[in-house]
Amino acid sequence: MLRKTPILIVVVLVFTGWVAVAFQAQQAQQTPPPPQQQPPEISLTITGGPGTPPHFAVPDFLPLTSDADTVAASKTIGQVLWDDLRFEREFDLIPRDTYASIPVAKSGTDVPFDRWRELGTDGLVIGTVQKTGTGMRVEVRLYQVATGKVAFSKLYEQGIAPGTPVNPRLFAHTVADEILLQQRNLHGVARSKIAFDSNRDAERVGGTIEERQAKELYVCDYDGANQRRITVGRTLSISPTWSPDGRALAYTSFARGFPDVYVSFIYQGILQKPTHGTGQNFLPAYSPDGTRIAFVSNRDGNDEIYVMNGDGTNVRRLTRSQAIDSTPTWSPNGEQIAFTSDRTGAPQIWIMNADGTEPRQVTRESYCDRPTWSPAPYNEIAYASRTSPGGFDIKVMDLARMQATPITFGEGSNESPAYSANGRHLVFMSTRGGGRAQLYTVGRDGRDLRQLTRVGSNFMPNWSH
């Protein structure tokens, strides 16, 4: 029996000066059988040879209806699912151009396992796609090729509003994350989003005499697809940071002529200004539980780090030095904050308790900036380190050993790292390959570099949880 999972759809709501992206769940209408009729959860784990990852194949899904949308969705889901599974490097994905000699499965259950065994396949994903009266239905099975047994089986349905296109990529992302969780107990990032700021639309800041180029906020899928603009204020909207639940973006806006912290609740279409315009405020960072926001402010005359509740109440100053303290980032347990400070001369990475006590210096290099603390189970801080007169590289500091390892090596300037929610990947800005700032992802080990953006200049990425 297949488990049925509803898929989310996206609706874009436009408001004055900004855009909110709202997500609505379409629940499948079904009457569940009595509990005793439910089959046990499938627990078969597919393995490879000794010391090697299992070899997985993901052919195009089978269209059960012949309309153009279903045929196209079948191809898209297969390709995107292959890419999603390959991203985490838990499986060895067999190249799709080698599948041509294998007969296409006649259905989701009639599969030529002998031919897939000849290709060395350990795990085979077979899926079907069917248009329904209200959207699309996708059925997925993961087979252990050696035995023909089913290791994963699920039915997904996406209901959409009339005139709204189906999102086949979301089916693929959902399947990938659930296969990784079931097979590897790993939370994948296929459904995560990356927020960033960009000048790609080449707009001039409104209300100014001088020619100043605006920056707006954008969001894209983890792999750079579906890049879409979030703010439309014709101002500087920069340094976005996701709330832990992914429902809000806090960022720095110059909409009133000076930097201030704004919070956009992208599900409800609500925009808040929690600092109430007191001083200049910028570079917000959510605590891991989402209840607090650390930020930088000059309200007392110097750039210091403060913390407030998510609604702007209970503002507390954390740092007290004559230097500039900035770019706060929280530890995974919310008990510490790392930040940049030039209190010993050149900017370096420091750590303090979340109440501001016991600050201690972490780096002692020529110039370090933009720390980002890794999620558990890793105990690392990634940061930008100046490695040449005009450029930075990304380094990862192992806090247990206090040892830094570079993961970029002098190609362009590489800055503003941010971790994925599972801690296995980083997104960062780089000027490699042409001088304009573009976004890239890379594994925390420095492998598997991928470019996400190619239009305009793009800065300060942040990865959703």
Q: What are the pLDDT digits (tens) for 103-147?
A: 998 887 889 999 999 999 999 999 999 999 889 999 999 999 999
Structure-model confidence comparison of residues 104 and 8, the more confident one: 104
At 256-308, the pLDDT tens digits run 999 999 999 987 889 999 999 899 999 999 999 999 999 999 999 999 999 99
- Residue ranges and CATH numbers for the domains of the chain are 42-184 (3.40.50.10070), 193-463 (2.120.10.30)
| Pair 20, 269: CB distance under 8 Å | yes
| Pair 326, 305: CB distance under 8 Å | yes
Burial of 182-219, coded b for 16+ CB within 10 Å and e otherwise, reads bbeeebbbbbbbbbbbbbbeebebeeeeeeeebbbbbb
Closest by CA position to 327, among listed 290, 378, 282, 366: 282
Residue 181 backbone phi and psi in degrees, to 5: -70, -45
Q: Is 213 helix (H, G, I), strand (E, B) or coil?
A: strand
Query: Residue 434: CB partners within 8 Å, gap ≥ 6?
Result: none
For 407-439, give the DSSP string: SS-SSS-EEEEEE-TTSSEEEEEE-TTTSS-EE
pLDDT at 39 over 70: no
Q: What is the pLDDT of residue 17?
A: 39
- Looking at mean pLDDT, say which of 269-273, 327-331, 375-379, 387-391 comes out highest: 327-331
Give pTM, 2 decimals: 0.90
Confidence of residue 41 (pLDDT cuts 50, 70, 90): low
Q: What is the pLDDT of residue 4?
A: 52
Mean pLDDT for 303-322 is 96
Q: What percent of the chain lies above the pLDDT cut of 90?
A: 79
pLDDT at 173 over 90: yes
Mean pLDDT for 398-423 is 97
At 420-445, the pLDDT tens digits run 999 999 999 999 987 899 999 999 99
